[in-house]
Structure 1
Amino acid sequence: MIRIRPASSEDLAVLRALETACFGRDAWGEEAIEGELAGVPATRCVLTAEDPEAAGDPCDVIVGYASLLAVDATADVQRIAVRPDRRREGIGQLLLDALLETARERGCAEALLEVRDDNTAAIAMYEAVGFAEIARRRGYYHGCVDARVLRLAPV
């Protein structure tokens, strides 16, 4: 059973490892992740997905993480990362649901996100909960892959 919990600075090394495993050259650096954690709770929500049945090493226990920026009426899903060997288990959906619940609790009327045009699994997950494309950023990822901008309203 996957458990969602708030991330802390103690998770930094594992979150950085997840970034590299999930996003390769698009991975955030340690400073970017620290910035997300530093914004909690004022404007940010950073969550981890844990598998309590996994071995004791934090890299085995934390199987995903997600980050949300919530300012005024708009929430922006910054990141959803699931360890590659744990994808297709519903972990990303659990994290997305938790982020959207946080957005609702904070009074956000809409949620936005960007996703690589070639990430069909993520796009399907987002569209299944009601996100719709509102724009494209041509060549956004290293000049060769478009970014889709998606919006969910109401949250």
Structure 2
Amino acid sequence: MDMFRPASTQDLHVLRGLETACFGRDAWGEEALRGELDGVPDTRYVLVAEQGDDVIGYASLLAMAETADVQRIAVHPQAWRRGVGRSLLSALLDEARRRGCGEALLEVRADNHGAIKLYEEFGFAPLARRPGYYDAGNVDAVVLRLEL
């Protein structure tokens, strides 16, 4: 990974591609992605990770008052296991702290054991479970919380 940079509306097409590659039927559409970008910098922080000329990942944070919500971390499957997701998460948490948030929340598929392990390494702990939240009601979401 070469660098992070702020995402822009010019990235919508590539962000949509990352969504599809990473989340399949749970992928966000262009409207949801545009909503994230439209909230920058007031309530949102959106980064892309680049390697050469390619965007290989992106992450989005919603930060309001005391709570930061990790909205999305997406890394292209060809770039998995290279620390991209870890670096994106670290950047989001740094931004949440910079904005004065006291906690960070996120939701993750209960069957995404690699992501859950990563979040636990950062100190996130289970807060709640949302039955049938993902995959047309077939997979639970686990809500995790980190005190900042």
Amino acid at match of 1:13: H
Which residue is 2:57 aligned to? 64
Amino acid at match of 1:145: V
Which residue is 1:37 aligned to? 37
**1:87, CA displacement in angstroms?**
0.4
Amino acid at match of 1:43: T
Question: Which runs of 5 or more structure 2 residues have no equivalent in the other structure?
Answer: none
Distance 2:61 2:2 in 1: 19
Q: How does 1:1-155 map to 2 (within 5 A)?
A: 1-52=1-52, 56=53, 61-141=54-134, 142-153=136-147, 155=148
Amino acid at match of 2:100: G
Question: What percent identity do the matched residue pairs reach?
Answer: 66
Question: Once the two structures are superposed, what CA deviation does each residue of 1:89-133 show, in whole Å capped at 9, x if it has no partner?
Answer: 000000000000000000000000000000011000000010000
Distance 2:13 2:133 in 1: 27
**1:140, CA displacement in angstroms?**
1.1
Question: Once the two structures are superposed, what CA deviation does each residue of 1:45-92 show, in whole Å capped at 9, x if it has no partner?
Answer: 00000012xxx4xxxx10000000000000000000000111000000
Amino acid at match of 1:15: L
TM-score (normalised: structure 2): 0.97
Distance 1:143 1:87 in 2: 26
Distance 2:132 2:14 in 1: 30
Secondary structure (helix, strand or coil) at the match of 1:20 reads helix
Structure 1's consecutive aligned runs of 4 or more residues displaced over 3 angstroms after TM superposition are: none
Distance 2:2 2:126 in 1: 30
Aligned Cα RMSD in Å? 0.7
Secondary structure (helix, strand or coil) at the match of 1:41 reads coil
**1:143, CA displacement in angstroms?**
1.4
TM-score (normalised: structure 1): 0.93
Distance 1:2 1:137 in 2: 36
Secondary structure (helix, strand or coil) at the match of 2:123 reads coil
